[in-house]
Structure 1
Amino acid sequence: MKVLLTATVQSHICQFHKPLVEVLHAHGCEVHVAARNNLAEKNGLKLDFVEKVFDIPFSRSPKSKDNLKAEKMLKQIINEGNYDVIHCNTPMGGIVTRIAAKQARKNGARLIYTAHGFHFYEGSPKKNWMIYYPIEKYFSRKNDTLITITHEDYRLAKKKFHCQVEHIHGVGVDEKRYFPVSKEEKLRLRKKMGFGENQKLLLCVGELLPNKNQKMAIRAMRKIVKRYPDAILFIAGNGPEKENLEHEIKQCGLENNVIMLGYCTHLQDYQHIIDVLVACSYREGLPLNIVESMLSGNPVVASINRGHKELIHDGENGYLVSRDDSETMADRVLELLADNQKADRIQKQAYEFALDYSFTSVKKELEDIYFGDKNAKWL
């Protein structure tokens, strides 16, 4: 069986679809990828786990003429490739692919689209419903299977859309990289990385963009360092907000308490030494960094948005606080740092919850979608 995976950019496939490729290879499938090559911008990412890669000039902007060129190139690749399954991802990658694959689908190819978080959801702006909802509903007729990664998207699509709808627990997190370590091992790793046994360590992960709102975490540190003067906040990620965040750190007088890690390819090292993960985004689909921290046995304090609410049950497996409420975020962090029993309880519940989002679990779900009995007609 030949499978073509498409997305707007190749980094998307690298970051989110290796588990799927492993499932397909285990069943003897040949896997190709068509997406724009942006790997030079992503330190450490390599698309070396598929048989063939096509560089297609997709654009995230629906107004870009590049997507017309991409559709023409992709149509030729699909028509010549004789693919059994075409699996598309990302909004523009998904739309262009479904247009290009029209004839292939008529000829018997199965078309799958994974929605990594609809732009319309409870509480989203009305214009999102007016623009994006009818587009997604219309294009649902042009694929055979829609895969959703949040329960809210699944319920909506199951009720309103015109195709088979499935749900999986995200794109999977590698439980061999992210796992709980003993307190003794945590102390050993801290010493190895140059941090003190009793030092309080926090982590905030995400591209440095306004939406990720790392300023909230920096401002929360003002209150945290009053009780723990040597506490450290690690900020992992790169992006255009770097200078603004560095200015915020200086304005708050936290030059000795906030470390900018840049783009980090070994985040598990930090997940294994921290006390708390903080997440401050205004919007999220299904954030991997929270699952990674839960699987590592860490409590999470996060801003309220639909992606965070999908993963965190307030007071049970983590804490949710209002967006931009750095005071309450600091209070919740301090609560966890001061109460080991409460932190241990939340860590345990977070870990057990996150197991459903592990590579092992998600690969089983993907295998059922591709090769389960209900999809026998496609084999």
Structure 2
Amino acid sequence: MTGSERPRVFHLITRLLKGGAEAKTIATVRGLDGYEFTVGYGAEYDPEQVNLLERTGVATRRFPLMRHYNPVTSVPAVLSLARYLRREGFDIVHTHSTEAGIIGRFAAALAGVPNVVHTVHGVPFADDRNDALNRFVLTCERQAANYTDRIVTNADVIADDYLARGIGTSDQYTTVYSGVDLDAFADAQPAADLPGERPRVVMIGRLADGKGHGVLLDAVESLGDVEGSVCIVGDGPLYDDLDAAIAERGLSDRVFLTGFRDDVPRVLAASDVLVLPSFREGTPRVITEAMASGLPVVATDIAGIPEQVEDGKNGYLVPTGNSKPLAERLRTLLADAELRERMGARGLERADRFSVTRMVEELDDLYRELLAE
């Protein structure tokens, strides 16, 4: 790279769908000036996300051998990606998520890429996953850390967790909170077409394992005739199963599946409480979005969530997999409009530290530091 050229940065993510990791990656490449970006992704992708990147001048590249938790194709994926990286001569490779992080860093090492960054969007080790799979991922993460210049986490507690597991060394880690366009949520007009009565509890995210949808249904079932409704916003492989479970439990008059919505700010503006009973997360963007919308949050006490939600201040933290405390906290908030307003105002104050502007600036500083070394 000469002084007149823009540094070439390659981002690699396992699946280019409509989740939080993808949103952070897209916000980064669209928000940073002075770099030439390419975004690589695996077998699963949403054409709308690819089109969004290409419309804004970001090149994309699909790697079909990179698949979600498929060890059979992992080695061929590493070799294929290494050939591509060697040919293209990127200045920085920045990987995201577990599979892309492992495959991408091994490939970057083979290709001799001078600077390698990995972002941990969520801790992949969880109680609801197979022990053998957890051990395999841990071994891979420890090895991949040897080929990483910087490991970016969404929360300090995630860095502490990784270090305690023997992944990398403390000088490799830096925390960059997931950024959100706060103004888009503060100024949003409420969506008028959401089903159910208010007060409205909303859960937003991909309908997939690990998010705790079943725990939420257990909690709602135990609430009885408490006033209000629940909207589950999103799409994914569990849609049909959740639809059937809602009907079987007799909750169809209180719990509604809306499918995917592209107007999340308006959905939050039309809601009163955000719930997120996940088994694994990083620092979820949707919590920041709810805070920016002035909503209290009830979420599991895992990963970076306690750095967003201060228990009893702007929401409540509950243990994973336990519907009873979740139901109790929802009951409290649904019954007390003043409490919801007070907690929402505190969340709005805390949201400033999670702005997209701050996130992009900190990643720019990180890139510049690496390129200067």
TM-score (norm: length of structure 1): 0.83
| 8 Å Cα contact 1:180-1:297 kept in structure 2 | no
Q: Does 1:193 align with 2:193?
A: yes
Q: Distance in 2 between matches of 1:225 and 1:41?
A: 42
The 1:101–1:132 alpha-carbon spacing in structure 2 relative to 1, beyond 3 Å, is same
Partners of 2:277 and 2:299 within 8 A in 1:
yes
Secondary structure at 2:90's aligned position in 1? coil
1:168 matched to 2:160? The reply is: no
What is the CA deviation profile of residues 38-83 of structure 1, one whole-angstrom value per residue up to 9, with x for unaligned ones?
Answer: 3347789733234321111212235223x33322332222122121
Distance 2:13 2:210 in 1: 22
Distance in 2 of aligned mates of 1:280 and 1:308: 11
In 2, the alpha carbon distance for the partners of 1:247 and 1:195 equals 18
Q: What is the CA-CA distance between 1:113 and the residue it aligns to?
A: 1.3
Residues 211 and 277 in structure 2, CA contact (< 8 A), matched pair in contact too: yes
- The code of the aligned residue for 1:63 comes to P
Say whether residues 1:364 and 2:370 are aligned partners: no
Alignment of 1:133-144 (within 5 A): 133-144=138-149
Q: State how 1:254-265 maps to structure 2 within 5 Å.
A: 254-265=251-262
Counterpart check, 1:283 vs 2:280: yes
Q: Secondary structure at the match of 2:253?
A: coil
Q: Does 1:112 align with 2:111?
A: no
CA distance in 2, matches of 1:128, 1:304: 23
Larger deviation, residues 88-97 vs 299-308? 299-308
SS at match of 2:72: coil
Q: Equivalent of 1:3, from 9, 19, 23?
A: 9
- Quote the Cα distance in structure 2 between the aligned partners of 1:121 and 1:238: 23
The separation in 1 between residues aligned to 2:210 and 2:176, in whole angstroms, is 25
Give the deviation of 1:16 after TM superposition. 2.4
Deviation digits for residues 284-333 of structure 1 (CA, Å, limit 9, x no counterpart): 23222222111111011123433533432221221123344434333322
Residue 272 (structure 1) shift: 0.5
Q: State the shift of 1:273 in Å.
A: 0.9
- Residues 301 and 319 of structure 2 are in contact (CA less than 8 Å); yes or no, is this contact kept in structure 1? yes
Letter in 2 for 1:111: V
What is the RMSD computed on CA atoms of the aligned residues?
Answer: 3.1
Q: How does 1:214-293 map to 2 (within 5 A)?
A: 214-222=213-221, 224=223, 226-228=225-227, 231-293=228-290
- From the superposition, tell whether residues 123 and 356 of structure 1 become closer, same or farther in structure 2 (CA, over 3 Å): farther
Aligned to 2:29: 21
> 1:93–1:44: structure 2 CA closer, same or farther, 3 Å change rule?
closer
- The DSSP-based 3-state class of the residue aligned with 1:31 is strand
Q: 1:339-373: CA deviations, max 9, x gaps?
A: 333222211222222322221221122122112xx
- 1:256 and 1:123 map into 2 onto residues whose CA distance is 30
CA contact (8 A) 1:294 1:354 kept: yes
Equivalent residue for 1:32, pick from 4, 29, 38 = 38
Q: How does 1:95-110 map to 2 (within 5 A)?
A: 95-102=102-109, 104-105=111-112, 109-110=114-115
Distance 1:126 1:293, change over 3 A: same
- Give the equivalent residue in structure 2 for 1:60: 68
For residues 45 and 217 of structure 1, what CA distance do their matches in structure 2 show? 34
SS at match of 2:271: coil
- Is 1:85 the equivalent of 2:92? yes
Residue 301 of structure 1 pairs with residue 309 of structure 2: no
Structure 2 distance, partners of 1:156, 1:331, is 29
Equivalent position amino acid for 2:270 in 1? I
How many angstroms apart in 2 are the aligned matches of 1:227 and 1:155?
40
Q: Indicate the residue corresponding to 1:350 in structure 2.
A: 347
Q: Which residue of 2 aligns with 1:334?
A: 331
Overall identity of the aligned pairs, in %? 24
Q: 5+ unaligned residues in a row in structure 1: which ranges?
A: none
> Which secondary structure state, in structure 1, belongs to the residue aligned with residue 112 of structure 2?
helix
What's 1:155 paired with?
A: 160
Task: Using structure 2 for the length normalisation, give the TM-score.
Answer: 0.84
Q: Matches of 2:280 and 2:161 in 1, distance apart?
A: 19
Count of residue pairs brought into register by the alignment = 360
Is the contact made by 2:180 and 2:356 (CA closer than 8 Å) also made in structure 1?
yes
